[in-house]
Amino acid sequence: VHTEKKAERVLSFRHLLDARQLLPADMDALFDLAAFFQRAHAEGRRAHDEARGRILAALFYEPSTRTRFSFEAAMYRLGGQVIGTESGDGSSLRKGETPEDTGIVLSGYADVVAIRHPEEGSAARLARHASVPVVNAGDGGNEHPTQTLTDLYHLLKEKGTLQGLTVGFYGDLRYSRTAFPLIRHLAGFGCEIVLIAPEGLDVPDERLASLDPSACVRRAASLGQEIARLDALYVTRLQKERFDDPRAYERLQGSYAVTPTSLEKAKADMIVMHPLPRTSEIPVAIDVLPAASYFRQAQRGLFVRMALLALLLKA
């Protein structure tokens, strides 16, 4: 019975490379289907068939736990199979093959490709000549659209709406590839965005300037002054791998953290989000607080990726 009604609607894109491609109708379709898979999962119906006989090529050239495993688990739970590399070491991009060529070749083997690579634009290049859908699972500091989808879906489920929320962003907002695309979407939903970044870790000015002039985004000096107003606080890790100068990283290491005391004045239903992995910016003492939502957020990434793969493979 549960195989009905699913995957009815088709997405507006063929490759998902940039969160800007996600139109309201795409999000509605994806979130409905993700919610369906989440309900089924909770009821013990965990095996589906939207990807039966299909293969995902998962190419990961940067470390990943959640993204890679949730893509792989999503494909298996849809009845499909996965081929791939964990470190990229065994693949020809390391020998100097262009992403364009890799895209052509993988299109002959697999039905959908997910790629994470340190270079901005790498997923778009791979997609250029690919005849199967390509999903960007993180291209350098640029975009990570399935994380943006996960974060939006999580917020929607936790808050009941994406409209008019006040959301704080705290931490490394300069190098994070998850913070800015989420800011852009939430600003588009009329949310008030408060940026709280330590010195040197602000959202780059040119990215802020690219926002719609109606966006309500402001910078704030400290978490303490803002916490009481927030519906959600999105925290990011210091993106060590994006620093050219290791000394700059070391100077900033440990320069910010959420503490139980810093949350004392928060609204009772304020949630703390984090794309994970965390380092020192969220101590484990926070995990037991009702505000801690990041592990639920990570699990929702599975259902969102199931929904995305199901709809991409259907098109």
Q: Which of the following is catalytic: 77, 116, 154, 177?
A: 116
Among 150, 163, 165, 289, smallest CA distance to 232 is for 165
Which value, in Å, is the radius of gyration of the alpha carbons in the chain? Answer: 19
178 binds ligand NCD (CB under 6 A): yes
Compare residues 38 and 239 and give the one whose CB is closer to ligand NCD.
Answer: 239
15 binds ligand NCD (CB under 6 A): no
Contact indicator for 117, 140 with CB cutoff of 8 Å: yes
Residues in the interface with ligand NCD (CB under 6 A) total 11
| 206: CB partners within 8 A, 6+ apart | none
Fill in the amino acid letter for 62: E
Q: Which of the following is catalytic: 15, 48, 67, 77?
A: 67
Minimum separation from the CB atom of position 255 to ligand NCD (A) = 16
Residue 268 corresponds to which tokens in the numbers above? 């009772």
144 binds ligand NCD (CB under 6 A): yes
300 binds ligand NCD (CB under 6 A): no
95 has catalytic annotation: yes
Q: Which of 237, 252, 258, 266 binds ligand NCD (CB under 6 A)?
A: 237
276 binds ligand NCD (CB under 6 A): yes
**Residues in 24-53 that interact with ligand NCD by CB under 6 A:** none
DSSP 284: G
Alpha carbon distance 290, 271 (integer Å): 8
Minimum separation from the CB atom of position 265 to ligand NCD (A) = 27
| 49: CB partners within 8 A, 6+ apart | 3, 78, 79
Compare residues 99 and 138 and give the one whose CB is closer to ligand NCD.
Answer: 138
Alpha carbon distance 46, 32 (integer Å): 17
Q: Which residues bind ligand NCD (CB under 6 A)?
A: 66-67, 138, 144, 147, 177-178, 236-237, 275-276
Active site (catalytic) residues = 66-67, 95, 116, 144
